[in-house]
Structure formats: C-alpha cells, structure tokens
C-alpha cells in the first residue's frame, strides 16, 4: 500500500518565510507579442547555432551563491522593512528592471516603499518597453553556471550510470509553449510521442500548477504520474490499482471555490483578466491585460484574499497564483513520488526535473539539498535558479527527451546481481 501524505500545516506566520531571489543586473528579457505569446528574447549569437557557450567549464551539482528560500507570503500580511529584495529592487529600478523571479514578498515591500504591484508584475514578466540591453558576457557567465543539458548530455548520461532515472516534467512552458489562452496550451503530437517513449524507460511524472485532470487531458497519457495544483493533487497511472493518491490541501477545497467565485466577480471589470480554477489553487492571468491595469488588478486580487489569511499569493509567468499556505509544493511532491516509487533513501536513483517557472525552483532546491538528481531550467534568459543545467524552450526539451531514450536504448542492460552460492 502506498503512503498517504499528511499535510504539515503551517500557521499564518508562513508569511514570515519571506524570501527573495537575488536580482540579476541584466536579462535577455521577454516581450509580449500581439497574440500574447512571449517574444524571443535577444541573446548572444553563439547560442543560435550551438548548445555550448564558449569555454564552458564542467558544472555539476555545486552550491551556487544564490540563496533562495520559500516563495510567497500569506495574503495581506505585513512585511518587515527593507529586505535584500527591496534593496535589490531599488537598485534594479534605476535601470531596466529585469528580474523575472521577483517575489511578491518583495512586491509588497516595494509597495510599502511607494512602488506598485504592477512594478513587480512588470519586472517578473518584462515587456518590450522594459527590455534590458543584451549582455553577451552575462549570458555566457550564466551559461557556464547552467550549461545546456544538450551540450552536456554525455555528462548527464554519465551521472546516471548504474542509477535508475525518474523523470519529472513541468507542463506549461516546458512541454507546451506559452500561449495567450491558458485553455489552448496544447502540446504537440511529437512532444507527446517523446514523453510516451520516455515513460516506457523511466517512471515519469508531470508536475504542474494546473488542475490535475486538466493537465492530464492536455498530456493524454494514462501511464504517467500526475501531480496537479503545484503538487497538491497527486495520482499514479490509472492502470495501477494501488495508484498513489495525495491531496494534502483537501480541506481547502470549499475555500478555494469560494475565492474563485469572488475573484471572477471582482476581476470581471478588468478586460483580459482570466481566473482559472486549478482545484487546490487559483490563477489570475494578466497576460492579456493592458499593462496600465496591472496594478489595479493586483489590488482587486489582494482585496479579495485579504480576508483569507490561510491563502498565499505568489507569482508566475504573467499570472498571480493563490494557494493554501501549507508546507507543500512541487519539491514536496517530488519527494512524495520518489518515496512512493520505493526510492526514499536510495543512492541508486537519479531524479531528473525539467521546469521553467518559479514554482519549479522548489523541486530544484530539493534535488540540490539531496545532492542527488539533475535540475534543468527551461529559459532563454539568465535567471537565478537552483537548477544545474538549462534548456532554451520546449523544442529543446523534446530533443533532450529523445536523446535520453536513444541513449537508454543503446546502453547495455545492467549486469545481473552476483550469484551467491549457498554454503554446503
């Protein structure tokens, strides 16, 4: 029988778990196209033809000088005064703000300092007007710290020798391209085939902020594990009668439904805003909202959730996310799945996690802390991350998956366990 997860509720001072990402000074920023898709960022020419930055050194699971703790604040909580994030923001505000991972904690601090929520929303999803100048040196430095998982494929394959790979894949921005309409974020048939092949060789889980049923419908593969609602809703392959089930935030269902209705009502005056019910969490999308209205939208959201201290507000790619303040995230989901698969304290397992968003950092952090596994960030621009490697976009993710399968197929099978002759 597989374990049921027990939630570790943390009371409202979850708010105190403030955190921040150090602010990069420049970024190869994304803009927004008329159709709402993110534009190609400008990046150094060498990346167009090669997976390797010049003279990239060997990079494995080293500790980086970026320290990132839990993201998110409890709704409506007060924040202590100037945090490093705030100071970093002030510095960045002088030039083009390029921080894509700025926490809402910092946003609230900025607000207290006279900056607006829209600043934070803009900063974490820069538009054309705030695009920073490309800086090849900085990109090269970033690529040295987080080299291409394709360029370093042999290194990754080498690390997996004698180990059992378990594959964890985020959905939006990783398996499917970012598009304006969240209901139309389809993955390609080619990607589906690649994921199906991967799952034939390695246990594979989709870990998404989406509602589990919705992401399962997008992916359409019944043989996978699915962790929806940022890991708060986990289920194993449908063919397995002992399928894993973990819903650590189940008691929040009524409140999430209530807040969903309130948010729909409150935000209907904002053209382009869209509230998505992800079952154990909610998303308020602002990708199609005029930038001038971002601050007002954030105020609308805050006005609703201020009455719900057990909910917290975080931010993703042009989306505000509302979720229960419990100690559960994609990192916890990864650990839960590893345990469910019987790899709790094994040294011969190699979790590989690929994701593009802030919530994926929780999983990257877990891998780093375990000193075991490979975190791969999908990004075309330098971001502070706990991932070791990078891939630029879903097409590179697919290429990586295909290579992994091809490598596995030609690898010799592991030797049989040694025969132990009984003593006579």
Binding site for ligand L263DTV3 (CB under 6 A): 170-173, 178-180, 182, 185, 208-210, 276, 278, 283, 285, 287, 316-319, 321, 357, 359
Of 148 and 229, which CB lies nearer to ligand L263DTV3 in the complex structure?
229
Kindly calculate the radius of gyration of the chain based on its CA atoms and give it in whole angstroms: 21
CA-based angle 81:87:88, to the nearest 5?
A: 140
Of 19 and 124, which CB lies nearer to ligand L263DTV3 in the complex structure?
124
Of 289 and 349, which CB lies nearer to ligand L263DTV3 in the complex structure?
289
CB of 146 to ligand L263DTV3, least distance (A): 19
Helices (H), 205-329: 212-219, 253-267, 294-305
Residue 390 and residue 149: Cα distance in Å, rounded?
6
3-state secondary structure of 166: strand
Catalytic residue, chosen from 103, 119, 135, 170, is 170
CB of 284 to ligand L263DTV3, least distance (A): 9
Of 53 and 331, which CB lies nearer to ligand L263DTV3 in the complex structure?
331
Residue 121 and residue 315: Cα distance in Å, rounded?
8
Sign of the C-alpha dihedral computed for residues 103, 92, 355 and 346 taken in this order: negative
Q: What SS3 string covers 59-85?
A: CCCCCCCCCCCCCCEECCCCCCCCCHH
> How many residues are present in the chain?
424
Residues 6+ apart with CB under 8 A from 189: none
For 46-63, b/e burial (b = at least 16 CB within 10 A) is ebeeebebeebeebebee
CB of 173 to ligand L263DTV3, least distance (A): 5
Of 230 and 266, which CB lies nearer to ligand L263DTV3 in the complex structure?
230
Residue 189 is a catalytic residue: no
CB of 112 to ligand L263DTV3, least distance (A): 26
CB of 208 to ligand L263DTV3, least distance (A): 3
Closest-by-Cβ residue to ligand L263DTV3 is 209
> Which residues are part of the catalytic machinery?
170
């Amino acid at each position: 029988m597989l374990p049921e997860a027990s939630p570790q509720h943390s009371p409202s001072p979850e708010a105190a778990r403030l955190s921040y990402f150090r602010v990069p000074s420049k970024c190869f920023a994304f803009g927004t196209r008329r159709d709402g898709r993110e534009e190609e960022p400008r990046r150094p020419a060498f990346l167009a033809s090669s997976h390797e930055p010049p003279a990239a050194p060997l990079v494995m699971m080293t500790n980086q000088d970026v320290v990132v703790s839990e993201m998110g604040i409890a709704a409506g909580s007060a924040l202590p005064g100037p945090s490093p994030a705030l100071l970093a923001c002030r510095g960045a505000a002088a030039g083009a703000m390029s921080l894509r991972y700025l926490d809402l904690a910092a946003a609230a601090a900025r607000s207290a300092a006279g900056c607006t929520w829209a600043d934070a929303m803009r900063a974490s999803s820069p538009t054309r007007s705030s695009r920073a100048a490309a800086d090849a040196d900085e990109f090269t430095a970033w690529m040295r710290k987080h080299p291409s998982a394709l360029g370093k494929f042999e290194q990754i394959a080498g690390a997996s020798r004698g180990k059992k790979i378990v594959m964890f894949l985020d959905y939006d921005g990783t398996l499917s391209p970012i598009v304006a309409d969240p209901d139309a974020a389809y993955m390609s048939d080619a990607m589906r085939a690649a994921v199906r092949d991967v799952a034939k060789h390695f246990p594979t889980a989709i870990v998404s902020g989406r509602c589990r049923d919705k992401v399962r419908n997008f992916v359409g593969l019944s043989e996978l594990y699915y962790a929806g609602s940022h890991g708060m809703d986990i289920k194993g392959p449908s063919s397995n009668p002992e399928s894993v089930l973990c819903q650590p935030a189940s008691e929040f269902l009524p409140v999430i439904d209530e807040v969903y209705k309130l948010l729909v009502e409150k935000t209907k005056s904002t053209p382009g805003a869209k509230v998505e019910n992800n079952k154990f969490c909610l998303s308020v999308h602002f990708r199609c909202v005029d930038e001038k209205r971002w601050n007002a939208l954030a105020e609308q959201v805050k006005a609703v959730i201020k009455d719900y201290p057990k909910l917290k507000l975080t931010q993703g790619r042009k989306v505000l996310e509302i979720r229960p303040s419990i100690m559960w995230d994609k990192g916890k989901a990864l650990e839960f799945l590893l345990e469910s698969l019987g790899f709790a304290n094994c040294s011969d397992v190699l979790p590989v996690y690929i994701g593009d968003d802030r919530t994926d950092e929780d999983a990257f952090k877990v891998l780093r802390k375990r000193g075991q596994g490979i975190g791969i960030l999908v990004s075309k621009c330098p971001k502070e991350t706990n991932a070791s490697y990078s891939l630029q976009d879903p097409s590179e993710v697919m290429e990586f998956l295909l290579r992994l399968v091809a490598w596995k197929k030609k690898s010799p099978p592991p030797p049989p366990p040694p025969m132990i002759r009984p003593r006579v």
